[in-house]
Chains A and B, each alone.
Chain A
Amino acid sequence: MSTPLSKPQIIAHIQKSLNYTVFDSKWIPSSAKFVCLGNFPRGTGVMQIYEVQHGEAQLVKEVEKPKPIKCGTFGATSLQQRHIATGDFDGNLNIWNLETPDVPVYTVKAHKEIVNSIDGVGGLGIGDGAPEIVTGSRDGTVKVWDPRQKESPVANMEPVEGETKRDCWTVAFGHAFNDEDRCVCAGYDNGDIKLFDLRNMSLRWETNIRNGVCCVEFDRKDINMNKLVATSLEGKFHVFDMRTQHPTKGFASVSEKAHKSTVWQVRHLPQNRDIFMTAGGAGNLHLWKYEYPAQRSKKDSDDVDVGVAGSVNLLQNVTLSTQPIASLDWSPDKQGLCVCSGFDQSVRVLIVTKLNVV
């Protein structure tokens, strides 16, 4: 346990009220700017760029789009271009150049229904291999896109004919530590978590956490998969140790009931994979640290290796608002700086102190 003095503090630095519902907010890499994606009351989509300046968030640019934008990522773009890939309510995947955001540089009708979640890898120097974007949609499919290939996805993960389609709520890349290996993890409304191996194009592992999976994230995308955090609808989150996959038991996990309501988001600190923040339905943020067990694997009764889960430590928790916090994003450049947006129509820039000493 950290002593009170070295305990990280979560400080609300900037709060900005918006005139639309914001679904996602993302830092623009290598800048002090962030993008807010959302939905005007009149039913159109909006994309705003803010710059953090003198303790305020200054609106730099605003573009209106025909369809509400649900989610965005910079994960598959180069540091020089910094194009944002977004998914909208209509199932479109668009890539925008933020300098000229009027026309997308890439567009595809990715899904039949809303794109719930998007993630990218292979850009920004994170993850070896091709730049790829994964989208998860209410239509039950998870598709992987390469911005260099128009029209069709490079991988499509969908239920076979006759299978019930479940709403895919969240997707995440991981395991991209060399040119070939790559995994996509998807979470569904029924509590399913599926891990797809893109190298072998197969389902590698699946489990169910009983409640809808709101968010999954690997602690780092560009390493040999290490940990996966999945948050659920009823306020629990699970941390899976992804190092040891038992043939039947799968991955070891530890779960923690953190919030009294849905845990909407989990985001790992880019500078330290063992620290992550969860954002809850009651407008609160919890900062956690994962502690590894002494031995990460042991032999079970049949002399087969089985993983051992560690434990999670609450470092700090604060309440920001009465409304759910729906998105959270750490600045990739400045440790401790993060932006979050909630259904109270506001976006906040937070500073978390003393992250380097926990």
Chain B
Amino acid sequence: MSAEAIFSSQSQPTTVDCGGKVPVEHLDYDYIEKCKDVKYLEKILGVLRSGDMGIYPHLISFCESHLEKLDPRSRTLRKESPVATAASLSKEEWSQIVDELKTWQEETKKAETSLKKQAMFDALVKENMAPVRGSSCFVPLSQNSVPKGRTKPSKRALPRNYREWDKFDVEKQCEKIDENVISTDPPTIINTGNPKIKTKVDVSMLQQQEKVLLANREKDKGNEAFRANDYEEAVAYYSRSLSIIPTVAAYNNRAQAQINLKHWHSAMTDCQRVLELEPGNMKALLRRATVYNHMGNFQMATEDLRMVLREEPQNTAATKLLSQIENKLSECQPEQQRKGKKILIQEVEEEDDNSNDKTKAQQTACPVQPSQPVGGEESSATPAERGDMGNAQKKPHGRGDGGPHSESNNSHHGHWRSKGGSSDKYKVTQESKEKVANGSSKRGSTASVQGDQSSSGKGTPVGGNAAETVNLDAPCGALPPPLARLKNEGNLLFKNGQFADALEKYSQAIQGYTDSGLDSPEDLCILYSNRAACYLKDGNSQDCIQDCTRALELQPFSLKPLLRRAMAYESLERYKKAYVDYKTVLQIDISVQAAHDSVNRITRLLIEQDGSEWREKLPDIPLVPLSAQQHRREEPPSAEVLQARAAKAARDAERKAEIRFSALKQEGNDFVKKGQYQDALGKYTECLKLKPDECAIYTNRALCYLKLERFTEAKQDCDAALKLEPTNKKAFYRRALANKGLKDYLACSSDLQEVLQQDPNVQEAEKELEEVTVLLRQSLANASPAKPRKTVPITEVEDDEATTAVPNCRGENITTNLQPTTAYDFGQSLNAARCSKNTVACAELLASTAPEVLPQYLSSQLDGHTISFIMQALDSHLLEKDPNLVYQHLNHLHTADRFSVVLMLLEKDERRHMTQLFEHLSAVESTEFTKNDVQNLANKYI
């Protein structure tokens, strides 16, 4: 209507008035085209449609289309159309609708029947209901007759009775009202009762189905409120929906509503919940990015947005937000650079100092070495030490230095990590490590931590806090003073964030270097690497790659250029190359977290890009020789630095090896905990390659051997451990077990006695000793290799070394007779194993039982759980070792009494175990049975 008014006021042939009639000459294409008066056009259309002036179908449609252009919502254009039928839709559309309807009908039918069953809950529901309203209240139809006690005397216009209404003139009344609005009017009632909406719904009495319905409805209400911009109400309804059934959609929507209300923290929690329920939910990521953006956490925001764009590259919202954030980031970039300078100065500077004060470095580094406990039995200290290392890596100034300096540094790290590329963390890591290694201590220090401090002292001469006092003329390696100055200037500029200027300095230095014909590849390497850093900062990835490659030609396998090149590749989206570089970095130093992260990220990308065979498309990852890892800084031939290098390299290698060592050990321990002794064995063996004199590893490996029943090897390991530590009671205990396995009871008992002598409180040893004594006596009496009547299984499940300071836990030691001779024994053992869910014990039990007698043993106590338990045991433990035995067992098991009955009663889960077992079994190649045999057997079971 308003649109019409506007149009008519602008109309070209100004409002046509022809006494309500449309002259014939107006029924003309030209006239209609020029006419801008919607109302008149409608009139013309009416005349045309009526056919009074003749029927002109083309003119009618022309008029309609013209009218539609002017006012698409004109009522005249509304045509009465017959209702659509199935025929008016395309076949696919219709069949889709019908299908939907059909499934809905089926679903509701099911729902209905289940609803009918629930009628019994009605009584309960009723109790929950609101009470009946006070009986028969009289509400007058008009307010003048309202009893005074009930309502406040209102100053509203008095309602009229119906007769009066007939004479009522709304317009006049409105004007009247407008005229004498009195300020004492009661205030406008605004129905925003959000606080009154309960945010929780009591659904304790409802069935799942009703809950779903209700939750959906509340969510719908939330959506509607959201569309009406009632965000608070929307939040209330979403909360109600969530209180019934938490769903991703409701959380997501509530997050958006909270965002609109600017409740960032609530929005954040909601996004997190969605991502917990459904990792990678695009909407939640996008919303979280928005929240991060508003909370000022741009780095996280960009990460989320990148993730979204990876999945949906066309997502315009994400693209827009990302560019916004990037703008913001670039705006505050300079500031950040300034903030981050202290780190940068270290980074660059300590490279300069590589060749400085080497001897001192050596001295200071060496004493550190013995003070580092290296895992093992005293592993309680290891985590702490590792923590120290981590600490040192992350916060080079974290200790000792104290004061504002260290604090500011810490904050920089946080800052860097949040803002910067993935390598930032690493930069620090490497620095600190190098510092530890070659720390040119001006104060002289002995501990590694102090080494850190001292290296920071370099950046701030004599512990001064002012980074500005950098001595530009500080000597740099083998560089002649002018070049060193250039380089230092470059470093200073870099740390100040003037990357382009720093770039120039470095370029000059490199030029000068080549001109001077020096032969110090290491320095050149550093120069290239530094320049690469500048290029990287400038976003010039190509040149960065070039410089890194040059640096790497000079010094293969040096970390920083590799890492920088990887980052450059990544930013150019050459993921394969980036992957290779990151992998190489990790080979050199496994502790580079940034590289780990990036590798994970890129792996995902590559899988997406190339499918599951992505690995095959990768270029070869250069194998970093151990020597390169350890001596990667030893190559430079500069004679005077060689000695220091060697020391530093040794120190480096020490560290690397140690990290690798502890990582391997940890993995081994984890495997032990999981019961994968074979894998653990491999890890421990690797550990021993790195450190052949580590007692704990020997004992750990012995445990694995014991579990795998390779007693001879176990004994050898224990011997080795005892050589290193002649009083290690674990080694003694394990050797005892090994001896027992080897049926050397005499040696066993002496070992156990040794253990008890050291620590009389070891109950396992006592128990073992008792048993072994019995066995010993027997064996002596029989004078023959006696059948051991009882063996105590080696179920020292938690290896004590694996975890720090975990008290010896014996809870899982279950006495299981592993070699039963009667059905009773067998039953006891089986039950014991089953009660503790110890499939290992069960597997051992089965291993020691002849398949032929299994049905006999089982006969009386066969039930579904037993079968399933046996299946599990066979599957998880025995199959690997001895598939033939498994086959034999299965071949006999089905002959047991009641087997067919029990089989029928198996539960779904139990059946699944069974199927799994047969699948695995059929995958095994064996000479004793063929796939067909397995198939036949399976038919009897499944």
Interface string of A318-358 (1 = CB under 8 A from B): 11100000000000011001000000000000110100000
Within 8 A of A (CB), among B125-176: 125-126, 129-143, 145-146, 150-151, 155-157, 159, 161-163, 165-166, 168, 170, 174
Are B197 and A206 closer than 8 Å at their CB atoms?
no
Q: Is the CB of B139 within 8 A of A351?
A: no
Interface centre among B84, B157, B170 (most CB of A within 10 A): B84
> Residues of B contacting A226 with CB < 8 Å?
191, 228
Instruction: Give 1 or 0 for each of B676-693: 1 = CB within 8 Å of chain A CB.
Output: 000000000000000000
Contacting chain A: which of B72-80, B348-356, B455-463, B541-549? Answer: B72-80
Asked if residues B104 and A302 are in contact (CB atoms below 8 Å), the reply is no
Whether A42 sits at the interface, judged by CB under 8 Å, is no
Residue B923 interfacial (CB < 8 Å): no
Q: How far is the CA of A206 from the CA of B168 in the complex (A)?
A: 14
- Closest-CB distance, B556 to chain A (whole angstroms): 60
Check B194 against A333 for contact (C-beta < 8 Å): no
26 A-B pairs in the complex with CB atoms less than 8 angstroms apart? A10-B83, A11-B84, A52-B105, A81-B119, A125-B214, A129-B130, A130-B129, A158-B141, A160-B145, A163-B161, A196-B139, A201-B137, A220-B224, A224-B193, A243-B192, A244-B188, A244-B190, A245-B191, A247-B185, A248-B177, A248-B185, A274-B228, A296-B228, A333-B104, A337-B104, A351-B97
Quick check: is A266 within 8 A (CB to CB) of the other chain? Answer: no
**Which of B141, B188, B196 lies in contact with A159, CB distance below 8 A?**
B141
Q: How far is the CA of A62 from the CA of B142 in the complex (A)?
A: 42
**Segment with Cβ contacts to A, from B85-93, B339-347, B489-497, B773-781:** B85-93
| A203 contacts B104, C-beta separation under 8 Å | no
Among A13, A192, A271, contact of B162 (Cβ-Cβ < 8 Å): A192
Interface check B627, CB cutoff 8 A: no
Q: Which residues of B contact A81 (CB under 8 A)?
A: 119, 122
**Inter-chain contacts of B221 with A (CB < 8 A):** 220, 222-223, 273
The listed residue with most B CB atoms (<10 A of its CB), out of A129, A130, A319, A351, is A351
- Given A297-B190, A318-B81, A318-B84, the answer on whether A128 and B134 have CB atoms closer than 8 Å is no
Contact in complex: A149, B135 (CB < 8 Å)? yes
Which of chain B's residues has its CB closest to A203's CB?
A: B143
State in angstroms the CA–CA spacing of A223 and B228 once bound together.
Answer: 13
Closest to A52 in B: B105
Known: A243-B191, A314-B78. 7 other contacts (CB 8 A): A1-B72, A149-B132, A158-B140, A166-B162, A201-B139, A203-B139, A273-B224
Digitize B193-228: 1 where CB-to-A-CB distance is under 8 Å, 0 elsewhere.
Answer: 110111000000010011001100100110111011
A100 at the interface (CB under 8 A from B): no
With a cutoff of 8 Å between Cβ atoms, the chain B residues found around residue A12 in the complex are: 83-85
Q: Within the assembled complex, what's the spacing in Å between the Cα atoms of A121 and B245?
A: 23
| Contact call A177/B196, Cβ cutoff below 8 A | yes
Q: Please, which residues of chain B bring their CB within 8 A of the CB of A198?
A: 133
Residue from B131, B143, B191, B197 whose CB has the most chain A CB atoms within 10 Å: B191
A190 proximal to B (CB < 8 A) = yes
Distance from B123 Cβ to chain A, minimum over Cβ atoms (Å): 11
Residue among B98, B162, B170, B227 with the most chain A CB within 10 A?
A: B162
**Closest A residue by C-beta to B193:** A224
In the complex the two chains form, what is the Cα distance from A131 to B131 in whole Å?
9
Q: Known A154-B134, A245-B191; judge A319-B82 contact (CB<8 A).
A: yes
How far is the CB of A33 from the nearest CB of chain B, in Å?
A: 8
Are A203 and B162 in contact, CB atoms less than 8 angstroms apart? Answer: no
Q: Which residue of A lies closest to B77 (CB)?
A: A314
Residue B848 interfacial (CB < 8 Å) = no
| In the bound complex, CA of A131 to CA of B128 (Å) | 12
When distances are taken between beta carbons in the complex, the residues of chain B under 8 Å from A79 are 115, 210, 213
- Asked if A337 meets B101 with Cβ closer than 8 Å, knowing A80-B115, A201-B150, A249-B177, the reply is yes
Q: Is the CB of A244 within 8 A of B191?
A: yes
A178 at the interface (CB under 8 A from B): yes
A140 to B268, CA, bound (A): 55
User: Across the interface, which residues of A come within 8 angstroms of B809, CB to CB?
Assistant: none
Q: What residues of chain A have their CB less than 8 Å away from a CB belonging to chain B?
A: 1, 9-13, 30-32, 52-53, 55, 78-82, 122, 125-126, 128-132, 140, 144, 146, 148-149, 152-160, 163-164, 166, 175, 177-179, 181, 188, 190-192, 194, 196, 198, 200-203, 206, 208, 210, 220, 222-226, 242-249, 257, 270-274, 284-285, 292, 296-297, 301-302, 304-306, 313-314, 317-320, 333-334, 337, 350-351, 353
Please give, as numbers and ranges, the residues of chain A lying within 8 Å of B101 by CB-CB distance.
Answer: 13, 52, 334, 337, 351
Name the A residues within 8 Å of B233 (CB-CB).
223-224
List B contacts of A246 (CB < 8 A): 188
B65 within 8 A of A: no
On whether A154 and B136 interact (CB within 8 A), knowing A10-B83, A159-B141, A224-B194, the answer reads yes
How far, in angstroms, from A208 to B150 measured CA to CA in the complex? 25
Q: How does the 8 Å CB contact mask read for B48-77 relative to A, with 1 for contact and 0 for none?
A: 000000000000000000000000110100
Q: A125-B210, A164-B162 are in contact. Are A146 and B190 (CB under 8 A)?
A: no
Stretch from B106-114, B471-479, B629-637, B720-728 forming part of the interface with A: B106-114
B189 at the interface (CB under 8 A from A): yes
Judging by beta carbons under 8 Å apart, are A179 and B137 in contact? no
A202-B139 in contact given A10-B83, A245-B191, A274-B224 (Cβ < 8 Å): yes
| C-alpha spacing A129/B78, complex, angstroms | 43
Residue contact B181 to A302, C-beta cutoff 8 Å: yes
A-side contacts of B75, CB under 8 Å: 257
Distance to closest chain A CB from B244 (angstroms): 10
User: A350–B130 Cα gap in the complex (Å)?
Assistant: 37
B137 touching A155, Cβ below 8 Å: yes
Q: Nearest chain-B residue to A353 (Cβ)?
A: B97
Q: Is the CB of B220 within 8 A of A271?
A: yes
Given the known inter-chain contacts A80-B121, A129-B130, A203-B142, please indicate yes or no for A284 contacting B196, CB distance below 8 A.
no
**In the complex the two chains form, what is the Cα distance from A298 to B223 in whole Å?**
24
Contacts A10-B84, A191-B165: A157 and B194 contacting too (C-beta < 8 A)? no
The answer for the CA separation of A12 and B94 in the assembled complex, in Å, is 12
Closest residue of chain B to A126 (Cβ to Cβ) is B217
A130 contact set on B, CB distance < 8 A: 129-133
The CB with the most chain B CB atoms within 10 A, among A11, A53, A154, A274, is that of: A11
B181 and A208 contact, CB distance less than 8 A: no
Q: Mark B865-881, 1 if CB is under 8 A from A, else 0.
A: 00000000000000000
Contact of B611 with A by CB under 8 A? no
